[in-house]
Structure 1
Amino acid sequence: MDMNMNASNSPRKHGVRRLLAAATAVVLAALGTVPAAAASRPASGHDTPSATAGRHEARGTLLAVTPVAHLGRAGVTAFLTEAGMNADTVRHGIRAYRLTYATITPQGRPTTATGLLVLPEGGARRLDLVSDTHGTMAHRDYAPSVGEDFGRYSPFLHASAGRAVAAPDYLGLGKGPGRHPYMDTASAVSASLDMLRASRTAALRLDRPLTGDVYASGFSQGGQVAMALGKALQGGADRHFRLRALAPVSGPYDIEHAESPALFDGRVNDTSGIFYMTYFLTAQNRLHPLWKDPSEAFREPYAGLVDGLFDGDHYEEDIIGALPANLKELLTDDYYRRLQHPTGALLAAFRAQDGTCAWKPAIPVRLYTSAGDTDVPIANTRSCAADLANRGVRVPVVDQGDVSHNETYLTSGPQIVRWFDGLAARR
């Protein structure tokens, strides 16, 4: 569910990071702010909003706009090309801004979140908007509004084609307070919807007003979020936005019947499987307790370690290095069996995230996936397509073939841009 899980497939490029950091320094220097020199990892520090930030503001209220990047057309082309992505849809340079905005916690209390707004340089003054929701990230500084590489590939790709892009960091990532409620669909949707609202305000202030038309996409965890956000927008969640198309990539749409069973039959590789499931269990336990003591689920010495690993300040490679080789070595015998045959609170946690495809879209939908994906197997997308078909909507499933999870997005992204271009031209 993540663009950076497997080192062998990782699209991170140190040269690209240096290129983007240098370009960012140029635009910020012009504004009187020069960032520290780029390191091999994102800076570990993060903003700490005041205790009252967002407390009295309506959801989606824009609290701050911070310029974070500026690339010309050639710079965007180089950035995407070095990532391994087809850059033939690049028509514009981009300017990117970190937005801080008011939203709510999973419990409905006021909080703040951040996200990345990317605007094309040139093109139409009034812009359609792409909602772009990212895949699994454990370290807060890899989120789109802060990280300088993989979290920005998709936003820069879409913006350089001539649309505004709203890429939420989600709760607890980027500069937002607290811990990330991983795979909590409801709060991911509320944070994404409020990011659209904040983007509407910011774009107007930046003299690039939005048309109100939204094209939704997302990868991995973000593919599942995109489906749920699409349902909310079609249902009238905000009268200012009209959903025009939906193109998620490799989302874990069916944890109960597709993703979780694949952990035990080889369809999900052990490294990704142990990372995702440990992240999921520890995050879900904070939302609706799955155990009274972590030793009920995790073997020693991991019982006392796992929750702290996902505090937003540990890098993925460090987390993986602290975990055993597979789930069987991590979990107690009882919980290993329970994961294969979930009941009670665990089953409820699965089902609270599933069902994002159980609606009837009134707009064009394409589902992107690959048969070679060993992070989010193709069975998830087939399940989603079946849910839609059961409601009378048959959608194309674009199978990219025998490629990895990350390569699925690198291949699908430009195809989605071209599809959105065609739909917009026919309006």
Structure 2
Amino acid sequence: MKRMSRVLMVSAVSVALTASGTTAVVAKTAGKSRATAVAPVAADLSRGQLVSATPLRTLDAEEVAAELAGDEDGAWDTGAVRYGLDTFRIVYRTVDPHGRPTTASGLLALPRSGERRLRTVSFTHGTELSKDNVASVSYGVWDQAPALTYASAGFATVLPDYLGLGLGSGPHPWMDVPSETTAALDMLRASRAAATAQGRDLRPEVLVTGFSQGASAALGLARSLQEGADGWFRLRAVAPISGAYAFRDAELPALLAGQTEPKASVIYTALTLVAFNRLHHLYDTPAQVFRAPYDHAVEGLLDGTHTGREVAAGTPDSIDALLTPRGRAMLAHPGGRLAAALRIADGVCTDWTPRVPIRLYYADGDEQAVTANTARCHAALRTRGVHAPPIDLGTPDYGGSRHLGSQQAGTAAVVRWFHGLR
């Protein structure tokens, strides 16, 4: 889940990879430019293998602070800024939702702190409708801010784009926690190799956070790390922000009842049906679940090549105008394949017992990810004997949205909490 109520202007950056994985680019920095060749890598299909690491930007601490403070939709907290940083676009090998080899991309940010061994933060982002609205290809402050905040505070910061976003091929499997988990885990592995090439070491302990859609992804990655999915990395702490952790029992009912921002409700509802249908075959034709004329357009609008503005313009202003009776019933009373998929998504709070410090950050009156999600996650973890305090961020505002504001306020709170953990 993330931003439906606003659309950011995105500066897309493209990279052409040769068959060997070698590329030469000119990376624009703040007032600087440099040409850098990336060494080729072996052509095997190992998960987490680094395909390329393309230098993007070098910023000093003052430039980081200026960029964060200069966001026209609301200044980001700069109190944790200590160092400059370098960012890299990472392309790496991973698997798709069916376990087949593919590649994905993401952003790695390394602090210019002088430390060789770095503590690592993994940040998983919220819903993006366009492939270009991710940190590895967008220089928009919203997309870059988590990397700038954590890296300038001294952490190696890893931001996976997920499958199908950034330089990834095909449609993005939205809210598919298993593929979000493998993409995030393999991004950590590739980032370790990229950091080593820069003379830096990523320490084994990973501090995991994420926002909205990425809050569920963060919990999925945390569970995977705790269960020993990697031989090097292990979980240190987890701090999700404003997630839809109870998608079936809290978020979907709120969407259908009109308790969330209207356009956000329409787009999230459409995303649920389209994205889950791609993986789980919920309907045979769009006309079964979407009313005309949207049945002819909505799947194409949600293919990752359209901007948020285009998606908003191409969808109605109410769920009743979007869904057929069958489509609404499918979401109101999930059964079969949809129910099974939702159990997996909601399992991030119900199917494991965290053994590390965990906090659940949320905003009062969140107009997109209703706070009942956090309450249900807290209750589910409590029944397993886990102390996971809900952290109330109040009513933060970013561009008129409390949901977006919770990422901004949550990032400032989480970086300070992570600093205090040793």
**TM-score normalised to structure 2 length:** 0.90
Aligned equivalents of 2:59, 2:314: Cα separation in 1 = 38
Q: Which residue of 2 aligns with 1:147?
A: 138
Distance in 2, matches of 1:348 and 1:374, equals: 27
Give the one of 322, 335, 340 matched to 1:343: 335
Given candidates 44, 60, 63, the residue that maps to 2:48 is 60
Partners in 2 of 1:55 and 1:277 — Cα distance? Answer: 40
Number of residue pairs aligned between Structure 1 and Structure 2: 396
Alignment of 1:381-392 (within 5 A): 381-392=374-385
Check if 1:111 corresponds to 2:102: yes
1:124 matched to 2:115: yes
Supply the distance in 1 between the matched residues of 2:60 and 2:4 (Cα, whole angstroms).
30
Equivalent runs, 1:22-421 vs 2, <5 Å? 24=29, 26-27=31-32, 29-31=33-35, 56-83=44-71, 84-149=75-140, 150-358=142-350, 359-403=352-396, 404-421=402-419
The offset of 1:14, in angstroms, is 8.7
Correspondence for 2:23? none
For 1:108 and 1:56, the matched residues in 2 are separated by: 15
> What per-residue deviation string (whole Å, max 9, x for no partner) do you get for residues 10-34 of structure 1?
7x5899x9xxx9962644x22269x
Q: What amino acid sits opposite 1:193 in the alignment?
A: L
Q: Report the residue type matching 2:418 in the other structure.
A: F
Q: CA deviation at 1:345?
A: 2.4
Preserved contact between residue 103 and residue 112 of structure 1 (Cα < 8 Å): yes
Q: Is the 8 A contact 2:28 2:56 kept in 1?
A: no
- Alignment partner of 2:366: what SS? coil
Q: Look up the equivalent residue of 2:120 and give its one-letter code.
A: L
Structure 1 match to 2:420: 422
Asked whether the 8 Å contact 2:94–2:102 carries over to 1, the reply is yes
1:188: how far off? Answer: 0.6
Q: Quick check: 1:54–1:111 contact (8 Å CA) kept in 2?
A: no
Deviation at 1:371, TM superposition (A): 1.6
Structure 1 residue 265: deviation in Å? 2.8
Q: Distance in 2 between matches of 1:378 and 1:177?
A: 34
State the Cα distance separating 1:282 from its structure 2 match. 0.7
Whether contact under 8 Å (1:13, 1:82) holds in the other structure is no
- Deviation of 1:285 after TM superposition, in Å, equals 0.7
Shift of the alpha carbon at 1:208?
Answer: 1.1
Q: CA deviation at 1:409?
A: 1.2
Contact 2:27–2:35 (CA under 8 A) maintained in structure 1: no
Cα displacement (A) at 1:151: 1.5
Contact 2:105 2:161 in 1 (8 A): yes
CA–CA distance in structure 2, aligned partners of residues 395 and 225 of structure 1: 17
Check whether the contact 2:50–2:91 (CA below 8 A) recurs between aligned residues.
yes
Deviations 1:36-59 (A, max 9, x none): xxxxxxxxxxxxxxxxx9973210
1:377 is matched by which residue type in structure 2? V
Residue 349 of structure 1 deviates from its aligned partner by: 2.7
Aligned partners of 2:126 and 2:212 also within 8 Å: yes
For residue 398 of structure 1, report the CA deviation from its aligned partner.
0.7
The code of the aligned residue for 2:359 comes to R
Alpha-carbon contact 2:10-2:138 (below 8 Å) kept:
no
Letter matched to residue 62 of structure 1: L
- For the 8 Å contact 1:54–1:101, the answer to whether it is kept is no
| CA shift for structure 1 position 156 | 1.1
- 1:346 CA drift (Å): 2.4
Q: Deviations over 1:294-347 (max 9, x none)?
A: 111001111111110011110011101100011110011222133212222222
**Secondary structure of 1:239's aligned partner:** coil
Aligned equivalents of 2:147 and 2:10: distance in 1?
Answer: 19
Q: Which consecutive unaligned segments of at least 5 residues does structure 1 have?
A: 34-52
Distance in 2 between residues matched to 1:68 and 1:280, nearest whole Å = 34
Alpha-carbon distance in structure 2 between the residues aligned to 1:203 and 1:14? 27
Q: Is the 8 A contact 1:23 1:71 kept in 2?
A: no
**Aligned amino acid, residue 365 of structure 1:** I
Q: Structure 1 residue 255: deviation in Å?
A: 0.6
CA contact (8 A) 1:55 1:111 kept: no
| Aligned 8 A contact 2:27 2:34 in 1 | no
Distance (whole Å) between structure 1 residues aligned to residue 282 and residue 309 of structure 2: 26
Question: 1:54, 1:112 within 8 Å by CA — same for their partners in 2?
Answer: no
SS of aligned partner of 1:356 = helix
SS of 2:200's equivalent in the other structure is coil
Give the Cα separation in 1 of the matches to 2:388 and 2:278: 36
2: CA distance between counterparts of 1:25 and 1:70?
7
Question: Over aligned residues, Cα RMSD in angstroms?
Answer: 2.0
Counterparts of 2:304 and 2:326 in 1: how far apart (Å)?
A: 29
After TM superposition, the structure 1 stretch with the greater mean CA deviation from structure 2, 343-352 or 173-182, is 343-352
Contact persistence 1:131–1:214 (CA under 8 A):
yes
Shift of 1:352: 2.5
Distance across 2 between alignment mates of 1:349 and 1:380: 17
Counterpart code for 1:96: T
Matched letter for residue 48 of structure 2: G
Distance 1:357 1:370 in 2: 19
